[in-house]
Amino acid sequence: MRRQRTKWRFWLDPAGIALIYWSVGLLWILLSDHLLMQAGVDPATLTRWQMAKGLLFVTLSALLLYGLMQMGQRLLREQTERLKESEASYRLLFEHNPRPMWVYDLETLRILAVNQAAVVRYGYSPEEFRRMTILDIRPEEDRPKVAASAWAPRGAFKHSGPWRHLTKDGRLLEVEIDSHLIEWEGRPAVLVLVQDVTERNRIARENARYREGLEKLLEVSRQLMGKTTDCERLQEELVKTARQIVPEAEAVLLWMRCGDRFVLTQKDGGPETLKPGFSLPLTAELMARLETINTLDPVEAAALQACTVPALRHLQAALVAPIRTEHALKGVICADSFTRADAFAPYERALLQSLAALASVILQNARLFAQLRRLSRQLLVAYEEERRRVARELHDEVGALLTSAQLCLGMAQMEVSEVQQTLAQNLQEARALIDRLSQEIRQLTLQLRPPLLDELGLVGALQAYIERYQKQTGITVHLRSELEPELRLPELIELTAYRFVQEALTNVARHAQTEEVAVQLRLTDRELLLVVEDQGVGFDPEQVFASGGSMGLAAMRERIELLGGRLEIASQPGQGTCLRALLPLPAEADRLISTEHRYEQE
């Protein structure tokens, strides 16, 4: 260990002793010779005095040297004892420190000494450590950086990290290091104290991932709450989200209860032989297993899945979260690993359970919304049937009565004599009012149920309506249709498309302040697209809908959404307006309806 500094005593130093001896001897010779010369004795006596003086000098010198050496030996013994005590204390601190410690040579980076904590933590014996350098316990890619840091100029104390260390069995440790420059057997060395922060950093990373997962769930909940019209797409989003919040999962499976079976409705990854649509009979044994599967650890849950589904026989670990609505089990989300039994962290189970709870709410909302839309569609059909009946009665009965009244008034007018001019004039005014009433009833009949829609189809009915619209308003309408004139679509789709164009053109005449408008019809494999666009004054859609200023558009949006479609409005003040209505075709609509019925049955 590093030597302690001791207080320097000049008279105990070899050079000091020699200087003292030389000074005392010189003074003795000069002073004694001077005194003898002053005494004036004869030569024989002087010779005897010289001999006595020499003997006395040798004796005093020996006593002086003896005393100085005794003091030096005593002081050396004291310092040696203190040094032993200090080294014992330092070695006790070094050997028994619970944190790994070692000393390495500053020039060669070779490990010189190591404590027991390092032996236990890293798995190397003290002899193995002493044959290694500090680079040998680092990953290959970290070694240049470690060497540069070790040889860089530094102060006596230094804190660095985090660094990565390798144990003998290949485990990777994350550590922080406190180091101190010392002397070891006369050479510059570094005393290292290691703090293992692997677990602390792992917990910090898991907490960060847990927060990210919660934020992702919050974001997904906001998105999915607005997509309750399509349960199949909701399931796709749930599986995709599960894969994101449990990144170690090699497969995510979504099982849903359909009648008396459990069906794999969506999957991401997993065996190719296990395809969506695979189902299991809903036995009492299976329900009992599913009721308790979320309480099992990942290995037990994997074993249970492997026993239930043969295609999952190689499963190593699994997280399973039940989906419940109204206290009944409706499905499970499974995150599976086929290669690692320790693939999942505890926080990932909590995230998957949160996703399952979110799925319960969303699917319950989807089921209720499906019921509401089905009832609303039935109401819409009944509403259109009632409009058709009223239009037919107005045309057939009221129209016939007005025609009869017109004929009667005409015959009465012919019988009026020339002297009854006032009566003749009144009859003429009555006939004019009946004509006007007939025209109003005809317009009302067209609005209630356009007969041309039944006779000519969507394209022919729109052409006829646009001709009347241009005559009444003076606005030029450019109609571009990619539909064949003889093509017939389902009645509700044709009627909704006709009402949409009718409402859009009415709004153009009332508010757009423009002389031209474009109407486009386009048919794709999955939907009918209608576009009405003008270059008028435009408006702020959010402000208008918030103030309730466009009841017609709001009602049209609801009508379109009841058919599984959507209405898009693009407009800004001074920049015109573009309305896009997308209505699903029968195949797509049937898929939505069948999905709704399935969830209603669940």
pLDDT at residue 306, rounded to an integer: 86
Q: Is the pLDDT of residue 485 over 90?
A: no
CATH of domain 222-373: 3.30.450.40
Q: Strand, helix or coil at 401? A: helix
- Kindly state the average pLDDT of the residues 17-31: 74
Exposure class string for 151-174: b at 16+ Cβ within 10 A, else e: eeeeeeeeeeeebbbbeeeeeebb
Q: Is the pLDDT of residue 550 over 80?
A: no
Q: Are 530 and 482 in contact (CB under 8 A)?
A: no
Supply φ then ψ for residue 475, to 5 degrees: -95, 130
Ordered by start, the domain boundaries in the chain are: 10-91, 96-196, 222-373, 452-601
Side-chain-side CA neighbours of 308 within 13 Å: the count stands at: 23
Q: pLDDT class for 133, splitting at 50, 70, 90?
A: very high
Q: Which amino acid is at 563?
A: L
Q: d(Cα 588, Cα 584) in Å, to the nearest integer?
A: 6
Q: d(Cα 36, Cα 28) in Å, to the nearest integer?
A: 12
pLDDT, the chain, mean: 81
pLDDT at residue 114, rounded to an integer: 93
Q: Which amino acid is at 323?
A: I
pLDDT at residue 29, rounded to an integer: 73
Give the residue carrying structure tokens 């029968």: 586
Token pair, residue 87, equals 């080294």
- Kindly state the average pLDDT of the residues 391-406: 66
Supply φ then ψ for residue 124, to 5 degrees: -90, 150
DSSP state of 110: B
- Kindly state the average pLDDT of the residues 113-125: 93
pLDDT digit string, tens, across residues 149-180:
988 888 889 998 889 999 999 999 999 999 99
Q: pLDDT class for 4, splitting at 50, 70, 90?
A: very low
CATH of domain 96-196: 3.30.450.20
Lowest mean pLDDT among 17-26, 170-179, 304-313: 17-26
Contacts 24+ apart (CB under 8 A), 14-22: 17/65, 17/68, 20/64, 20/68, 21/61, 21/64, 21/65
In 284-438, DSSP assigns E strands to 317-325, 328-337
- Kindly state the average pLDDT of the residues 96-114: 92
The larger pLDDT score, comparing residue 204 to residue 39, is at: 204
CATH top class, domain 452-601? alpha beta
- Does an H or E element contain 251, and which? strand 251-258
- Residue 327 backbone class (left: φ over 0; alpha: ψ -120 to 50; beta: rest): left
**96-196 and 452-601: same fold?**
no
- Kindly state the average pLDDT of the residues 526-552: 83
Q: Is the pLDDT of residue 419 over 60?
A: no
Q: d(Cα 561, Cα 247) in Å, to the nearest integer?
A: 36
Token pair, residue 560, equals 């379109």
Token pair, residue 590, equals 């049937």
Q: d(Cα 293, Cα 272) in Å, to the nearest integer?
A: 24
Partnered with residue 264 across adjacent β-strands are: 255
pLDDT at residue 123, rounded to an integer: 94
pLDDT at residue 142, rounded to an integer: 93
Give the pTM.
0.54
pLDDT at residue 595, rounded to an integer: 45
Q: d(Cα 596, Cα 163) in Å, to the nearest integer?
A: 56
Q: Are 189 and 105 in contact (CB under 8 A)?
A: yes
Q: d(Cα 453, Cα 500) in Å, to the nearest integer?
A: 14
